[in-house]
Amino acid sequence: MLVRKGDSVHVCWLDCRPTALAGMQLKMGATLNEFTGVVKHVRGDDPENPTQVRLFMDPAPDANVDHLPRVRPPGCTCEHPHVEIKPAWVTEIL
């Protein structure tokens, strides 16, 4: 899936964190992050052969993403920071 700047996308991923160690089994807590938004920046570590690509997006106004960290990528002149996501988390281009 080729995601471009300006695309409206649906993203979904799980944040897993260890919560308890009961006996020999590690218990994991998980938070499902799922929302739509617009990709504002696409950043890679190399313009021709990137090994790492990050997307920075603005979530839709009705998205419940207050718990997610906001960052401002290098060279960003936008008025506000964005949510950083991995390309693998994009489930659909709308």
Whole-prediction pTM value? 0.78
Phi then psi for residue 89, to 5 deg, are: -80, -10
Q: What is the pLDDT of residue 10?
A: 94
Distance between the two ends of the chain, CA-based, in angstroms?
12
Q: What is the pLDDT of residue 21?
A: 67
- Alpha carbon 66 to its chain centroid, in Å, reads 13
Residue type, 61: P
The domain segmentation of the chain, as residue ranges, is 8-93
Q: Give the mean pLDDT per block of 10 residues along the chain (94 residues).
A: 88 82 74 90 82 89 86 86 90 91
